[in-house]
Structures are given as structure tokens and as C-alpha cells.
Structure 1
Amino acid sequence: MVSTPQENDTVVIAVVGTLDNGATFYTVEKDEPLKVTLGKSNLPPSVERGIMTMNVGEVKKIRVTPEEGYGERQKDLLQVINSPQMIEKLQPKPGMLLSLNVEKEGVTQQVPATVMEVKGTEITVDYNHPLAGHNLNYEVELLDILRQ
């Protein structure tokens, strides 16, 4: 019998995701583990490939590049908004997350944006995913393999 998980197996994992600076962006503890089906999950492919080489009880560090993660930061996703009303109402500060209405192809949708800078009545916001441009470091512990 194969001791490592294969595609379509459901695995039970604990995982901690950190950036290169040590900041934690994602945690799933052993007492409330994550169950994912390999080949059908939202995990980056390199994380799935790494899990498929693991035995139950093993801990592995897996690095995901920006290209495989959330992409590189795109400068065209920065926007300067001149809005005295927004500044007065929200009192935005750098790092604050806003939900802004954006129209694309005739459809208005709410999109998260991070406040980068506030100068006078102008707010610079960033529509990039907060993890874009970062290497993502996952420490994965394989707790169990649930075979079909």
C-alpha cells in the first residue's frame, strides 16, 4: 500500500503560512485541521506536490513564488482618489482596507483596496491582493490520509 498521498486522496493537514519577514498570514491548527482533496483544492500546485511526497506525521516546509501564488504586484492597480467626503467620513490611514465600488465592462462590483497614502484630499489605494509580490512559506504537517 502506498504510504504517501496521491491525487484525489483527501488529506488532513495543519499549516502555517508566513512571509519572508516572518509575518504569519495563515494558520490552521492541529485541533481544527484542514481537509483538502488533492487535485481539487485551492492550494498552490507546489504545496500539493509537496504534500504528495509526505508521510503521515511528517512536517515539510514548502515555498511558493509570487508567480504561483498571488502574482507580482501590478503598478496599474494603484489609484489616486480625490475625495474630501471620503476622507472626512472614513478618516483613512495607510494599511486600512476599504471596499470600493469599481465598474468593469458595465458591471459594478465591490473590490477590496488597501490605503497606501493619504495627502490632503487624495487617497492612494492599491487593488493588488495583499499577498501579491510575496514569497509564501508554508509549514505543512500531514496528520492523516483519507483514501477513497
Structure 2
Amino acid sequence: MSTIQKDSAITLHFTIKLNDGSVADSTHNMGKPAKLIIGDGSLSDNFEQCLIGLTSGENKSIELKAQDAFGMPNPDNVHYMDRAKFVGDAEVEVGTVMAFSGPDGAEIPGIITDIAGDSVTVDFNHPLAGQDVTFDVEILSVE
């Protein structure tokens, strides 16, 4: 049986739970498992360390502090934009998540947190930044 180590290609199901027990995200909802390679940067180092040594078929609950999960909110990731930039069908309202073009042309999701007159506040921090989370993982395969 393969054991997860650096550069392992793993397929897993995960469910992210918040402190109150509510589910923030789950691959079960998407209907397909996640695939990733240990060490490719898609997971935090601490999270990867928790996965190393697991084998396929194993289930584990991993509690991560905010800084080890999605990081702490960064005030530099909050931007103020002119409402005139929001054109088209998109409704501009607090709580709306919209895709914006980043400096490298990649799309970055931002959530509208405040609207004051013609100024729209957009927060580009991860929605779970600053929150302690529990990952329930089910390892399906290790290559």
C-alpha cells in the first residue's frame, strides 16, 4: 500500500468544517474528489505534514489554525473601487463574490464588503482567512 510522501499524487475527498460545525466546502458536494501533488504548493506546509504518512482508504480529521489553513486576512487585499467600474448585468451588492482580473491576467475572486456612494469596497482575502478549520479527509488513492 502506498504511503503519502513528498511528490505523491493523491486523490482525496475532503470536507472543511468551521468551528461551529457548519460545512464551508466539500468535494462531496462537487461530486468528484480533489487531486493534488504533495509539495506543489496547493496546500499549506502544515496541512501537507498532516497528510504525510497516510495511506489510501484512510480517514483523518485535521484541525488547522487560521494561519496554517487559509492564512490571516491581509489589509492590503482590501481595495476600494469606483462604482462606475461595475457595468453590465452584475448586481453590485454587499456579499456578492465577483471575479476580477489580477495583475497577471488571472481571475481573482473578491467579495464586496461595503458600498458607500460611488465607492465599492472589495475584499480579495480568502473567504475563510482568519478562521480555524477542520479538514475531514478521506484518502482514495496514492501514487
TM-score, normalised on structure 1?
0.69
Residues 70-109 of structure 1 mapped to structure 2, 5 A cutoff? 70-83=70-83, 86=86, 90-100=90-100
Alpha-carbon shift at residue 72 of structure 1 (Å): 1.2
Alpha-carbon shift at residue 87 of structure 1 (Å): 8.3
Query: 1:108 and 1:88 mapped to 2: Cα distance?
Result: 20
1:63 aligns with 63
Q: Do the aligned partners of 1:44 and 1:64 also contact (CA within 8 Å) in 2? A: no
Q: Percent identity?
A: 22
* Greater gyration radius: 1
Q: Do the aligned partners of 2:12 and 2:140 also contact (CA within 8 Å) in 1? A: yes
Q: 2:119 aligns with which of 119, 122, 127?
A: 122
Query: 2:90 and 2:72 mapped to 1: Cα distance?
Result: 29
Deviations 1:78-109 (A, max 9, x none): 3343436748974411111234467x6xx887
What secondary structure is seen at the aligned counterpart in 2 of 1:138? strand
Query: 2:113 and 2:23 mapped to 1: Cα distance?
Result: 21
TM-score, normalised on structure 2?
0.71
Alpha-carbon shift at residue 60 of structure 1 (Å): 0.7
Bigger drift between 85-94 and 120-129 goes to 85-94
Alpha-carbon shift at residue 16 of structure 1 (Å): 1.1
Asked if residue 141 in structure 1 is aligned to residue 131 in structure 2, the reply is no
What RMSD over aligned residues (CA atoms) do the two structures have, in Å? 3.3
Deviations 1:37-95 (A, max 9, x none): 32335122223222223243321111233323332112343334343674897441111
**Paired letter, 1:34:** A
Query: 1:11 and 1:33 mapped to 2: Cα distance?
Result: 10
Query: 1:110 and 1:56 mapped to 2: Cα distance?
Result: 34
1:42 aligns with 42
Q: Do the aligned partners of 1:51 and 1:142 also contact (CA within 8 Å) in 2? A: no
Number of aligned residue pairs: give it: 141
Structure 2: gaps (5+ residues) = none
Query: 1:12 and 1:109 mapped to 2: Cα distance?
Result: 26
